[in-house]
Structure 1
Amino acid sequence: MTVSLRGTQDVKDNYQLFRLTGLLDAFSEATFSKTLKKKIDQGPKNIILDLSKIDFVDSSGLGALVQLVKYTQQYKGALQIVSNARVTQTVKLVRLEKFLSLRTSLDEAIENFKKS
């Protein structure tokens, strides 16, 4: 994606899994958003973002996550975020933990899409 943010994609039957490492910040946000929206357009529309290895999320990164939730909902999909303590703390500061569908593990996020 960018120098400060790297990731892999794994496409399953009804969801896409993105495992990201690095920084989700003002420098990586534009490329991150553009890339993810393109992948959502290609389908499947349900997205799991594994941010458990992310080192830092700033306000630009949070804004990108909010926009991606809205984007997936617009196309009848859903977005779930596998978090770590640092990301969770940042998200809770702005009271977005429910809106961003934070999950404590990848298994929990996958189970939620298996039910749908």
Structure 2
Amino acid sequence: MAEIPRFTEQALVVEEPAGENLIFRISAERIDTTNAVDFRAVVENSLDNEFRNYILDFSKVGLIDSSGFSVLIMLAKKMPPEKNIFLTSLNKDILKVFTMMRLDSLFRIFSSTEEVLADNSY
């Protein structure tokens, strides 16, 4: 079993549900210059694991600044072609920025983690 990474200062909780999914339940209120590098390291280091689907749950995140968006874009570009990255539970303001920046075409966005787990189209 692959080692599950942990985000510094308890800002990210990682769960391993059954199957090929690794869920990152982010408990930081913000993804910004103070934690974007650590956030990137945790997710990036997990890409070598056996998981096929990486689900980032943003239900507790109220703000993503430009450094946070940069990390997400970089992660999407580094994602191996046989793996998937899904974003869930974005608040309406963050979702609006994703849409304005056309990042909704780069990521599959779901309203909840449960919705991703129920979707078999990936």
**Does the pair score TM above 0.5?**
yes
Query: Are the equivalent residues in 2 in contact too, given 1:45–1:75 (CA < 8 A)?
Result: no
Q: Per-residue deviation at 1:98? A: 2.3
Query: Are the equivalent residues in 2 in contact too, given 1:29–1:61 (CA < 8 A)?
Result: yes
Q: Per-residue deviation at 1:96? A: 0.8
- Higher share in helix: 1
Q: Identify the residue that residue 3 of structure 2 maps to in structure 1.
A: none
Q: Which amino acid aligns with 2:31?
A: L
Distance (whole Å) between structure 2 residues aligned to residue 49 and residue 32 of structure 1: 11
Q: Per-residue deviation at 1:43? A: 2.9
Q: Identify the residue that residue 16 of structure 2 maps to in structure 1.
A: 11
Query: Are the equivalent residues in 2 in contact too, given 1:23–1:56 (CA < 8 A)?
Result: yes
Distance (whole Å) between structure 2 residues aligned to residue 2 and residue 88 of structure 1: 26
- Higher share in strand: 1
Cα distance 1:67–1:45, how it changes in 2: closer, same or farther (>3 A)? farther
Q: Per-residue deviation at 1:115? A: 4.3
Query: Are the equivalent residues in 1 in contact too, given 2:62–2:91 (CA < 8 A)?
Result: no
Distance (whole Å) between structure 2 residues aligned to residue 87 and residue 2 of structure 1: 23
Q: Per-residue deviation at 1:89? A: 1.7
Taking only the aligned residue pairs, the percentage that are identical comes to 21
Cα distance 1:75–1:52, how it changes in 2: closer, same or farther (>3 A)? same
Structure number with greater Rg is 2
Q: Identify the residue that residue 4 of structure 2 maps to in structure 1.
A: none
Q: Which amino acid aligns with 2:97?
A: T
RMSD in angstroms over aligned alpha carbons?
1.8
Q: Identify the residue that residue 91 of structure 1 maps to in structure 2.
A: 98
Counterpart of 1:79 (choices 78, 85, 100) is 85
Q: Per-residue deviation at 1:6? A: 1.0
Q: Which sections of structure 1, spanning at least 5 residues, go unmatched?
A: none
Q: Which sections of structure 2, spanning at least 5 residues, go unmatched?
A: 1-6
Q: Identify the residue that residue 27 of structure 1 maps to in structure 2.
A: 34
Distance (whole Å) between structure 1 residues aligned to residue 52 and residue 67 of structure 2: 23
Cα distance 1:2–1:23, how it changes in 2: closer, same or farther (>3 A)? farther
